[in-house]
Chains A and B, each alone.
Chain A
Amino acid sequence: MGQANGQDVEIADVSMRYPGSKRYAVTDVSVHIQAGEFFSFLGPSGCGKTTLLRLVSGFIEPTKGEVLIGGQNMRGIGPNKRPTAMIFQNLALFPLMSVADNIGFGLEVRGVSRAERMKKATELLELVDLPGVEKKKVSDLSGGQMQRVAIARGLAVQPAVLLLDEPLSALDLNLRQHMRSELRKIQKRTGVTFVYITHDQGEALTMSDRIAVMTDKGIIDQVATANTLYNNPKTAFVADFVGENNAFLANVKEIINGYALAETSFGLLKGRNPQNLNPGQRTLAFIRPEALTLREGAETAENVVKCIVKNLSFEGAFITVFLKVGNDNSVIMRQSNDGSTPLLKIGADVDVCFSAENTLLLAYGEVADA
């Protein structure tokens, strides 16, 4: 079928300021996306991920820095000449053309014969699991079907890199879940480098090989696999943005080997200190909800906090417990519903404990708005 082989994308020290604007949309971004990788840019609205996509696709040129695809500098090369294809957020399918004509458009402008284009369209529709709709009008398709047509259209020109601009945001929940695995499948089947942008971390975490987390200041905080982002976030922003996390304001008191003691408003906590923060520094202590447990009997734990149960939320496989500690600090704890822990009562006083290993101390920084 002529599988397109993906190429790598290098974004080297790129900063972008739009003409007429004072602020930089992205600042000093350097990322190397491997060939054939499913790579995502994850961040809140306005973080600059759309800008990056447009820089790679060629619709805008960086104010500083370079964009290289397959080792070749793309400066001065327009979107129609780059080995990229973009899936737009609103899909931008051509309403006056049939499905087959849409898919074949990229080939049509390259002078491919009609017969050949039809053949390609059928092949690609097979690839995206949408056989038989060649003659249909685009407006007769459902949302998910239109998605696949858009992807088929992008793949038809055999791009080295496929750029996807939050393609699933307009779909309803069930379809979104389904399309996540579909997209992943298609990417693996074709070997094309996928560059995906989204603000939905669920999408990014489940689909991507690696993820770049961007803050709303237009910089990348961390590039890593989902696992690493979740368990070893490099900044407070990442720790807060990826997954649910408890965060407590604290000041470092002492450092002990790779750990540190930090003073919160409700007591001392011991936690990992990967950034080697010094005593006196402001920090946020992060503990994942699933790392919290209730103290059983007299067992000792490194961190113990007295909380009051405020609310319970039964969510099937697990129970989310909302607690309060000290001066209105809210705590979220997740218990699995396997009967191993007793059901809590609202208003009860409990001792919540967690290990130092599971507690992460990171320098205080702006986190995304809830």
Chain B
Amino acid sequence: MSVSAQKTRFCWPMERWPMRKLWKDALRNFGGIGVIFILLTVGGWLIFMIILPQLIMLDFSFRPLLPLRKLGGPEDVYTLKNYILLFTTPLHRAIFFKTIWASVIVTGVALAICYPISFYLAKVAKGARLGWILMGLIIPYWINELLRLFAWQLILADSGILNQFLMFLGIVSDPINFRAGNGAVIMGMAYAYILFMVFPLYNAMESLDRNQIDAARDLGSSWLRIHWRIVIPYAKPGIAVGCIMTFMLAAGSIAAPQLLGSPSSFWFTQIIYTNFETANWNQGAAYAMILAALCLVFIMIMLKVFRVSLKELAK
């Protein structure tokens, strides 16, 4: 959308009030009905679905949980109590930090596994084969997250394939309870979210001029160096996006810990869920805000580490 093209269309002589001009512009372009439509849809979306709900959640997070009759009374004040709880409860703290490092692991595993695939798709695979492979990747992506996790649940169950296999080989005589501990959850997440790493990487690598790689090869560079010095720096925005998405999916995942975890491997989101189940909206809201803050912090860290700007991330 070139700026000059915009300028030569329907320009009236310069007016002094930009807001008025915008209004006139809109009315001319869409007519009365159109303007109402745009205002309703965009406004409704922005205000009633994006801004206000977040503000209300923010508000809830700063208030203490009170029974109905006490609302509006002397105890209904703004407080940091809900937030502080995270730091004062060792269990919550532990779970919070576990969620962070486990999500990082998931992200790392996904990156390691997906990088070669993405590179292959972007630079090596050609034509029809590329189309088929892409299709083959997109289809599981459409299958419900729950079902994909369920599949892993089955595999890791006591009577599941893995245990049957191990017992068959005689490695163990009793089924291993894979679900105790964090391993199952991490594995399940890696399975469920892996594709969210492939596509951003693929997109970023695709536009890399193949000739650059060929030139480097021609100059005698090793594959390792090619990736380290040429491909990775170029694909940085894609890597950043992929990591961000995977991390946020993992940290914010509730299905995976619910299906594949056990009480000893509680996830942060599950604390929020418990709060919700017991109608402690305020606490839940506060922890949800903490989760949001965590995601934001991760995004900023990623931007810094990869030295990418926000604009470049715009997929």
Q: Chain A residues in contact with chain B, CB under 8 A?
A: 18-20, 54, 59-61, 63, 78
Give min CB distance, A124 to chain B, whole Å: 28
Q: Is the interface of B mostly helix, strand, loop or mixed?
A: loop
CB distance from B300 to the nearest CB of A (A): 35
* Contact flag A19-B7 (CB < 8 Å), given A61-B13, A63-B13: yes
Chain A residues near B14 (CB-CB < 8 A): 19
Chain B nearest Cβ from A72, distance in angstroms:
19
Interface residues of B (CB under 8 A from A): 7-14
Q: Decide if A59 touches B10 in the complex (CB within 8 Å).
A: yes
Q: How far is the CA of A18 from the CA of B7 in the complex (A)?
A: 7
CB of A165 to closest CB in B, whole Å: 12
Nearest CB of A to B15, in Å: 9
Contacts of A78 in B (CB 8 A): 10
Q: Which residues of B contact A18 (CB under 8 A)?
A: 7-8, 11
The interface residues of chain A lying within 8 Å CB-to-CB of B10 are 59, 78
Q: In the assembly, what is the distance between CA of A54 and CA of B13, in Å?
A: 14
Nearest B residue to A21, CB-CB: B7
Bound state CA distance, A78 and B28, in angstroms? 11
Max count, chain B CB within 10 A of own CB: residue among A19, A54, A61, A63: A19
**Interface contact B7-A54, CB-CB below 8 Å:** no
Residues in B whose Cβ lies below 8 Å from that of A59: 8-10
- Chain A residue with minimal CB distance to B12? A61
Q: How far is the CB of A51 from chain B (nearest CB, A)?
A: 8
Judging by beta carbons under 8 Å apart, are A20 and B7 in contact? yes
**18 A-B residue pairings within 8 Å (CB atoms):** A18-B7, A18-B8, A18-B11, A19-B7, A19-B11, A19-B14, A20-B7, A54-B8, A59-B8, A59-B9, A59-B10, A60-B8, A60-B11, A61-B11, A61-B12, A61-B13, A63-B13, A78-B10
Select from chain A the residue with minimum beta-carbon distance to B28. A78
How far does the Cβ of A41 sit from chain B's closest Cβ, in whole Å?
17
Whole-angstrom distance between the alpha carbons of A108 and B14 in the complex?
A: 34
Measured CA separation A63–B13 after assembly (Å):
7
Taken together as a complex, chains A and B put the C-alpha atoms of A20 and B14 apart, in Å, by 9
Closest-by-CB residue of A relative to B3 is: A20
Report the nearest A residue to B15, measured CB to CB.
Answer: A19
Q: Which residues of B contact A60 (CB under 8 A)?
A: 8, 11
Nearest neighbor of A78 in chain B, beta-carbon distance: B10
Nearest-neighbor residue (CB-CB) of A51 within chain B: B8
Residues of A within 8 A of B9 (CB): 59
